[in-house]
Amino acid sequence: MRKKYEPKRPVAPPRPRTKARPPGGARPPGGGKPMASRRVKGKGLLAGRIDKAKLPSVGTLVKKGVKLILVGIFSFALLAVLTVAIIFGYMYINESDYFMVHPQSILITGLSKLSRAEVLEAGGLQNSLNNLTLDTTKVINNLKTIPWIENAEISQTWPSGLSLNITEYKPKAIVSLQHLYFINENGTPFKKLDPGEISDLPLISGFTVDDLSSSGPLVSDALAEIFALIDVLGERDDDYATANVAEFHYDPDRGLTLFAKKTGVQIKVGLGGYSKKFWRLGKVMNHLKKEGLDEGLAYVNLEYPGRVTVSYRPGAAPTAAAPGRERRG
């Protein structure tokens, strides 16, 4: 029998085996010799391989050093230029007339006792100053060293405007303590009278420095009584008007006593009812003048309601009147 022919199936060529990486380095792509490597001699942890490190050349280091030096020089030069510019800018602004405040252009309001020259000198404003660099707090503190100034306000308008608003103390009387002081309506002594200084304000006595320093209700009430009497007498035009009273004396037990300038008469007033008391005194004095009994008076008492008691100096009592004579009014 004839055998049937069967063709053989093609056999796929065997897949090439990947060769193991030879010791001593990795094979570069495409074959060839393995990459060079360096074995580090040593034992234990130091054993192994490391890649060669690339170290910068001397030329590279020199270039970097020069670059750093140039950057430093440029920065220093720039800082120096800026410093000089700031200095010259400050000098220009400080000396520029555009921002300069001149004494004659300063507006000052509220002056009564003080002069413009005194305020300018005390505030340090007697010379031209730069409005940008003006220390306004210092100016205010300097102004408050003047005893007459109770408060001061300063206002700047750009570029070269300046105004001052001054509030002066308003003296109500002069108080006799260890020295003579001006006193305002709140009972605050604010200025000592200078030697030779003259004032026509009424003089108040009977208080101590501690009394006015404490500002207690008793002192406040006493001063209120004195000021009320001063106001009443301020409306009179006779020998007992405020301008003709030499002294107002306060006693916590007896109240107020005043001393007339022209006649030297002591008038015991007490407390309260001042308008009525001096109305009665006016009627009595008019009667005494008509009778010729007004000369030689030394003492008048208005404390008691409805009557006026008068006394004469020893040896000066008129024949028509005896010392201690009373008149009801």
Same domain, 180 and 322: yes
Question: Measured on CA atoms in the order 104, 107, 112, 113, is the torsion positive or negative?
Answer: negative
CA distance 224 to 245: 18
Residue 57: pLDDT band with limits 50, 70, 90: confident
CA distance 73 to 224: 79
25: left (phi over 0), alpha (psi -120 to 50) or beta: left
- CATH number for 319: 3.40.50.11690
Name residue 187's amino acid.
G
pLDDT exceeds cutoff 60 at 58: yes
CB atoms within 10 A of CB 183: 25
Same domain, 151 and 269: no
Query: 274-291 vs 217-233: helix axis angle to the nearest 10?
Result: 40
CA distance 233 to 274: 9
Token pair of 108, please?
């000052």
Same domain, 154 and 181: no
Same domain, 185 and 121: no
Backbone angles phi, psi at 255, to 5 degrees: 85, -140
Least confident span in 37-41, 115-119, 186-190, 292-296: 37-41
Same domain, 276 and 323: yes
pLDDT exceeds cutoff 70 at 16: no
Same domain, 292 and 222: yes
111: left (phi over 0), alpha (psi -120 to 50) or beta: beta
Percent of the chain with pLDDT over 90: 54
Decide if 33 is inside a domain.
Answer: no
Would the pTM count as exceeding 0.85?
no
H helices present in 215-266, as ranges? 217-233
User: Average of pLDDT values for 159-179?
Assistant: 95
Same domain, 155 and 186: no
Backbone angles phi, psi at 110, to 5 degrees: 95, 10
Q: Which of 137, 168, 199 is the last residue of a domain?
A: 168
Same domain, 125 and 220: no
Structural domain total, the chain: 2
Decide if 208 is inside a domain.
Answer: yes
Q: Which DSSP string do the residues of 87-102 spell out, in sequence order? A: HHHHHHHHH-GGGEEP
Same domain, 132 and 233: no
Same domain, 229 and 302: yes
User: Average of pLDDT values for 54-72?
Assistant: 81
Report whether 142 contacts 123 (CB < 8 A): yes
CA distance 313 to 321: 12
pLDDT in tens, 108-139: 999 999 999 999 999 999 999 999 989 999 99
Decide if 44 is inside a domain.
Answer: no
Decide if 32 is inside a domain.
Answer: no
User: Average of pLDDT values for 48-59?
Assistant: 63
Domain that holds residue 176: 171-328
Report whether 182 contacts 193 (CB < 8 A): yes
pLDDT at residue number 63? 82
- CATH number for 118: 3.10.20.310
User: Average of pLDDT values for 47-69?
Assistant: 71
pLDDT exceeds cutoff 70 at 316: yes
pLDDT in tens, 230-268: 999 999 998 889 999 999 999 999 999 999 998 899 999
99-103 CB contacts, 8 Å cutoff, 24+ apart: 99/130, 99/131, 99/132, 99/158, 99/159, 99/160, 100/128, 100/129, 100/130, 100/131, 100/160, 101/125, 101/128, 101/129, 101/130, 101/131, 101/134, 101/160, 101/161, 101/162, 102/128, 102/160, 103/127, 103/128
CA distance 119 to 131: 18
CA distance 23 to 202: 124
Same domain, 316 and 208: yes
Same domain, 156 and 220: no
